[in-house]
Amino acid sequence: MRPDSRSRRQLVMMLMPYLIGLLVLVLLPAVITLALAFTEYDLLRPPRWAGLANFSELIDDPIFRVALTNSLVFALVAVPLRVLFALGLALLLHRRALGVGSARSAAMLPTAVPEIAYGLLWLWLLNPLYGPINQVLRTGGENGLTMLGRTPPQWLTDPTDARAAIIAMSLFTMGETFVVLLAARRALPRDVYEMAALEDATGWDVFRRVTLPLMAPVLGLLLVRDAVQSLHFTFVPALVVTDGGPPPYATTYLSLFVYRNGFEYLRYGYAAAATLVMILLTVAAVVVQWRLIRRYRAFYRL
């Protein structure tokens, strides 16, 4: 056997576990979901062809429209905030100094906590009566009010506050994004910053004209990745912390909508149709953001 053939065979053998996993865990379920989206199936009877009936029902389903709106709002608000939060930490902690290592570890810690445990922790933090967050907000106030004379946020019972709580929970799980941006910032050439210092450029000018353009490709890819992940990130917080409420379905997102229709109501065909909508939304978000990245790179000639 020639060396080239041997190397090719070794490469194929190394990739085989990944290819098998991709086929069994991604491609095959995707094909089954696509087929089920056009059927009525409840695990008790064989699937029955329904055509576009599931999609027609989704259009007329008010709960689906609420879940779709909630998911889009979350993606538009939480994703940019997560990336900006991670970028700010990366710029703050990229230099070596006393305590920086501990701060980096602390930034990564929420990401390493299991999702269920993370949700239960926030369920305690957000408790409107004895939760630490509202206890701090009541500091300096009287009769259970804040120092501004207002009622503390009702994180678990008010629709707007509950949505804000889910977004806040997402901000602290930006560990992977933080690590990537930290590595990208540390990889930037020092001579560019030395030249900016010689020209007496302000910190804002350095960020706007040097740091941001050089890190733009990485930021763009992270925005695309987080936009894809945002559709399923809300599942555990909405299920554990708010249970999809408060009424009327304030924190019911597409992922929770699919879960309840598939595993609680046994409407697998209907849940598969909603899943297909999630996939199409993900593809659309990726295409739009990718076009914006290409225009940005063409503008700065990156």
Q: pLDDT category, 83, cuts 50, 70, 90?
A: very high
Three-class secondary structure assignment of 228-275: HHHHHHCHHHHHHHHCCCCCCCCCCCHHHHHHHHHHHCCCHHHHHHHH
How many domains, the chain?
A: 1
* pLDDT value at residue 1: 47
Judge whether 198 lies within some domain.
yes
What pLDDT does residue 297 have? 66
- Please provide the average confidence, as pLDDT, over all residues in the chain: 86
What integer pLDDT is reported at residue 282 of this predicted model? 82
User: Any idea how long the chain is?
Assistant: 302
Q: Is 253 left (phi over 0), alpha (psi -120 to 50) or beta?
A: beta
| pLDDT above 70: percentage of residues in the chain | 96
Q: Is residue 165 part of a domain?
A: yes
pLDDT confidence band for 233 (50 / 70 / 90)? confident
For 249-273, what is the mean pLDDT?
92
Across residues 93-111, what is the average pLDDT? 86
**pLDDT number for residue 300:** 59
Per-residue confidence band for 299, with pLDDT thresholds at 50, 70 and 90? low
Q: What is the model's pLDDT at position 260?
A: 92
Write the CATH number for 277.
1.10.3720.10
For residue 22, being part of any structural domain is answered with: no
State residue 302's pLDDT score. Answer: 56
103 Cβ contact partners less than 8 Å away, ≥ 6 residues apart: 93
Contacting residues for 173 by C-beta, under 8 A, at least 6 apart: 110, 111, 118, 233
Mean pLDDT for 227-241 is 85
Helix (H) / strand (E) element for 32: namely helix 28-36
Residue 187: domain span: 37-300
Does residue 110 sit within a domain?
yes
Give the global pTM: 0.85
- Of the two residues 69 and 216, the one the predictor is more confident about is 69
pLDDT tens for 13-70 read: 888 888 898 888 888 888 888 899 999 988 888 889 988 999 999 999 999 999 999 9
Condensed to tens digits (0 to 9), the pLDDT of residues 153-180 reads: 899 889 999 999 999 999 898 888 999 9
Q: Is 1 domain-assigned?
A: no
Residue 28 lies in a domain: no
Is residue 6 in a domain?
Answer: no
Q: Report if residue 5 sits inside a domain.
A: no
Rounded to a whole number of angstroms, the distance between the first and last alpha carbons of the chain is 44
Tell me, what's the pLDDT at 254? 92
